[in-house]
Amino acid sequence: VGRALLYLLTAAPLSALWFGLLLAGAIAIPLTAPTPLVVPVLVAYRALVWSGARLEAALVRDLLGVEIEAPLARFGAKGYLGRVRGVVGDPALWREQTFLFLRMVLGGALAVAIASAIGASAWLVALPAMYSSVDFDIGSWHVDRLGRALALVPAGVAGLAVSWFLVVGGARIWPPLARVLLAGGAGTAGSTATAAGEPTPVAHALRRALPFHAAFFVLLNAVLIAVWAFTTAGYFWPEWTLLTLGLLLAIHGWTVLVQGSWLGPRSAATRALRVHAGAAAAIGLFLVCVWAVTTAGYFWPMWPLLGLALLLGGHALTALAATRDRERLTERIDVLTTTRSGAVDAAEAELRRIERDLHDGAQARLVALGMSLGLAEQKLASDPDAALQLLTEARVGAGEALRELRDLARGIHPPILADRGLEPALAALAASAPLRVDVSAHVPERPPAPVETAAYFVAAEALANAAKHAAASHVEIRIYRLADVLTVVVVDDGRGGADPAGSGLSGIRRRVEALDGSLRVVSPPGGPTSVEAVLPCAS
Amino acid sequence: VIAEDLALLRDGLTRLLRDNGFEVVAAVGDGDALVHSVLREEPDVAIVDVRLPPTFRDEGLRAALEARRRRPETAILIVSQYVERSYADELLADGRGGVGYLLKDRIIDVDDFVAAVRRVAAGSTALDPEVVAQLLTRRRHGNPLDRLTPRELEVLALMAEGRSNAGIADALVLTVGAVEKHVASILAKLRLPPSETDHRRVLAVLEYLRSTSD
């Protein structure tokens, strides 16, 4: 709920930003449309909208936990017409604009509503602590006494409950919208599964003891109250046992509750934190009760409460940091495990393919070649003409075998990549593609060979898909190295709908992930398809 | 001079050339040795493998270009297991003849290969059909080449490989006169000036193809 609330509240500052952006676009583009000036304006506007969409996608991902990816921006071909057609004709632009608009209007309104609901309710709840210092009237009803202030607390609590529902409900609107508008329907819902651990022996004993503890509490107090009723019946002294033993029972009960499986995912650290929180709340309540039944004057429990809160806060912070560290490590281990097995699988499949190709291709041809030569040797004396024909056949066969071996070698590792590096290799790739390809590269320093190879095959695969499946006519390949990160982006203008789990793309993904990189494929139906690989170059 | 790091191929190539009336003055295994022997022996032609030690990348090509820079009259025939258009561009960059770039596969067809060596040594060009094919792909729309007939495209490809009219006539089983007619028609359609020598014609055609393929 905390993250959902944060997400909903981010709409407030962002709505101002999106308002400015959309307005600027709506003014600047029509104004410059008849002039060539519109080209830089369009490109800048597209880049800004795309950055906005990316930011929103990141917010949805991090705060709402829904895995979505915004497609990469398409800027079209160089020149006036190309840019206008490329940018304005990009369905992703219109979807992203819609999402930003919704966040601006709906999100902004919701943020204001939630913030004011929470603020007002919290104020009402806090009123008993400050009724004397503030002036507050409801009609003619002047809140000037503790009783009246206390009477308003339930209203505040109800208000908080309403805000809670607003937050939970509001947070449900955005993921489907984001999935459709930001990711073009290509997002996948993230799911987390947590295994329920076995309860520890201590927890077990605590749970078994709880009914006895409760029974003991009820019995003892019943006895004491009976004694009080029959004897003095004046000052209600059993309140002290009720309170102190009640405190113990409450802490015990809470501890057992926390161990129960229905309170969500639990690590030892979270459990300890929850026990701590419950105990602190119980102690606080105990102190307030003591204060209420005794002096009820100066609110002295304020100080111990402050101390408790500080302790709890410190505990929560360290626990949170520790949990995060552990989560990061666990995640890293998961990633390494998957990518390692992926890399092994990919290498295995590749080796099998090479073996098959060699066996069916060059090897078979060499056998045939050997046979022709053997026959020619036999016939050389008796039938020189036939021998000559066999020798010609053998020569042609050797040429075929060579051609097959060359194709195979190129598929394993294109020679020009090793010789000259990524840029010339991609240029050669682009030149041999059956569609128009623009390559822009900025790779000042050659990355390690495995990274280069992976980057090359990402581009090759994306290009092959664009030509084969997407019916694209134009592809942009951008490749650049910033510090120690090499990024390959391939965007086409095809019909989209690529399956990221298809054999070609998943092979590429395994290859990229084995290098600790990441591959993102966004291909909503209707296009465009964008493939982005980010590869760390640290050797 | 032959520069090839695999002894098996180096010896085979040496024997093949000797049997066909060439004199092999040096057979070396790396780029530095190539440059040295070119300067010492002053051969008519150097046959060079692209991949040579120590890097096994494009050492051979670099060494050959270096040798040609220091002794410009050296004719160079690059042989390789694979062909890349950009390498051909680098070879042709100085606009003079006497260069060739062939797949090693072509050595199998001994007569053709020997003819290509002689052509290069004589100051003309020999480009592998694969390179020419790379130059001819991707020219689908709105290109002057669309105006050529399929037969003329075939002739153009052979011209780009560096063959003479007689060579083209041989390969396509035509008369030399018919080839001359096709050539004239091609040059007219592409608005290329007729040249006095085969070699100049090849360079003009290649220049044309390179300029239109990007």
- pLDDT, tens only, B119-149: 899 888 888 888 888 777 655 555 677 778 8
C-alpha span between B162 and A199 (Å, rounded): 84
Q: How confident is the model at residue A187 (pLDDT cuts 50, 70, 90)?
A: very low
State the pLDDT at residue A191: 32
Task: Provide the angle, in degrees to the nearest 10, between the axes of the packed helices A38-64 and A91-102.
Answer: 60
Query: Taking 80 as the threshold, does the pLDDT of residue B64 lie above it?
Result: yes
State the pLDDT at residue A66: 80
**Both tokens of residue B176?**
């030399």
Contact with chain A for residue B212, Cβ under 8 A: no
State the pLDDT at residue A184: 65
Q: Which residues pair with A442 in a beta bridge?
A: A480
Task: Express each pLDDT in A433-474 by its tens digit.
Answer: 878 888 888 888 888 888 999 999 999 988 888 888 878 888
C-alpha span between A85 and A271 (Å, rounded): 57
Contact with chain B for residue A419, Cβ under 8 A: yes
Task: Express each pLDDT in A464-519 by its tens digit.
Answer: 888 888 788 889 999 988 888 899 999 988 887 777 777 788 888 888 888 888 88
Percent of chain A with pLDDT strictly greater than 90: 3
C-alpha span between A258 and A82 (Å, rounded): 62
Average pLDDT over residues A246-275: 73
Burial A281-296 (b: 16+ CB within 10 A, else e): ebbbbbbebbbeeeee
Q: Given the DSSP bridges, would you call strands B27-28 and B45-49 parallel, antiparallel or unpaired?
A: unpaired
Task: Express each pLDDT in B1-54 by its tens digit.
Answer: 888 888 888 888 898 889 888 999 999 988 889 999 998 988 999 999 988 887
Q: Who wins on pLDDT, B36 or A69?
A: B36
Query: Taking 60 as the threshold, does the pLDDT of residue B99 lie above it?
Result: yes
| A76 closest CA partner among A428, A535, A527, A462 | A527
* Spatial contact of B68 and B56, defined as CB atoms under 8 Å apart: no
Average pLDDT over residues A332-338: 85
- Asked if A402's CB is within 8 angstroms of B109's CB, the reply is no
Q: How confident is the model at residue A140 (pLDDT cuts 50, 70, 90)?
A: low
Residue for token digits 């890097």? B55
State the pLDDT at residue B48: 92
Contact with chain A for residue B138, Cβ under 8 A: yes
Percent of chain B with pLDDT strictly greater than 90: 7
Residue in B58, B104, B108 nearest the CB of A419: B58
State the pLDDT at residue A42: 85
- H-helix or E-strand spanning residue A254: helix A239-259
Query: Taking 70 as the threshold, does the pLDDT of residue A233 lie above it?
Result: no
In a mutational test of the B interface, the residue from A372, A396, A403, A406 whose CB has the highest number of chain B CBs within 10 Å is A406
Q: Given the DSSP bridges, would you call strands A474-482 and A141-142 parallel, antiparallel or unpaired?
A: unpaired
B contacts of A395 (beta carbons < 8 Å): 108-109
| B23 closest CA partner among B141, B127, B117 | B117
Q: Considering only alpha carbons, which residue of chain A is nearest residue B133?
A: A432
Query: If you ran DSSP here, which 8-state letter would residue A23 be given?
Result: H
Contact with chain B for residue A20, Cβ under 8 A: no
Q: How confident is the model at residue A200 (pLDDT cuts 50, 70, 90)?
A: low
Q: How confident is the model at residue A201 (pLDDT cuts 50, 70, 90)?
A: low
Cis, bond preceding A175 (omega within 30 deg of 0):
no
- Asked if B213's CB is within 8 angstroms of A406's CB, the reply is no
A contacts of B85 (beta carbons < 8 Å): 428, 431
Percent of chain A with pLDDT strictly greater than 70: 91
Residue in A399, A409, A428 nearest the CB of B86: A428
Cis, bond preceding B54 (omega within 30 deg of 0):
yes
Query: Taking 50 as the threshold, does the pLDDT of residue A105 lie above it?
Result: yes
State the pLDDT at residue A178: 82
- Asked if A432's CB is within 8 angstroms of B82's CB, the reply is no
Q: Considering only alpha carbons, which residue of chain A is nearest residue B138?
A: A434
| A450 closest CA partner among A346, A336, A365 | A346
Q: Report the number of secondary-structure helices (H) and strands (E) in chain A.
A: 16, 7
Task: Provide the angle, in degrees to the nearest 10, between the axes of the packed helices B85-92 and B129-136.
Answer: 100
Query: What is the end-to-end Cα distance of chain A in Å, rounded?
Result: 42
B contacts of A420 (beta carbons < 8 Å): 57-58, 86
Contact with chain B for residue A416, Cβ under 8 A: yes
Q: Considering only alpha carbons, which residue of chain A is nearest residue B210?
A: A431
B contacts of A398 (beta carbons < 8 Å): 108
pTM for this model (two decimals): 0.55
- What is the rounded radius of gyration, in angstroms, for the C-alpha atoms of chain A? 36
Contact with chain B for residue A332, Cβ under 8 A: no
C-alpha span between B50 and B81 (Å, rounded): 8
Segment among A257-266, A379-388, B182-191 with least mean pLDDT: A257-266
* Spatial contact of B104 and B10, defined as CB atoms under 8 Å apart: no
Residue in B50, B108, B213 nearest the CB of A431: B213
Contact with chain A for residue B108, Cβ under 8 A: yes
- For residue A125, what are the contacts with CB-CB under 8 A and spacing of at least 6? A153, A156, A157, A160
* Mean pLDDT, all residues of chain A: 80
Q: How confident is the model at residue A139 (pLDDT cuts 50, 70, 90)?
A: low
Task: Express each pLDDT in A143-177 by its tens digit.
Answer: 677 777 777 777 788 878 878 887 887 787 788 77
ipTM for the predicted complex comes to 0.71
Query: Taking 50 as the threshold, does the pLDDT of residue A389 lie above it?
Result: yes
Task: Express each pLDDT in B162-180 by its tens digit.
Answer: 888 888 888 888 888 888 8
Contact with chain A for residue B86, Cβ under 8 A: yes
Task: Express each pLDDT in B202-214 by its tens digit.
Answer: 777 777 776 665 5
User: Alpha helix (H) ranges present in A33-107?
Assistant: 38-64, 80-88, 91-102
- For residue A198, what are the contacts with CB-CB under 8 A and spacing of at least 6? none
State the pLDDT at residue A486: 92
* Mean pLDDT, all residues of chain B: 83
A contacts of B137 (beta carbons < 8 Å): 431-432, 434
State the pLDDT at residue B31: 87
Contact with chain B for residue A420, Cβ under 8 A: yes
Query: Taking 80 as the threshold, does the pLDDT of residue A80 lie above it?
Result: no
* CA A258 to mean position of chain CA atoms: 29
State the pLDDT at residue A421: 85
Q: How confident is the model at residue A203 (pLDDT cuts 50, 70, 90)?
A: low
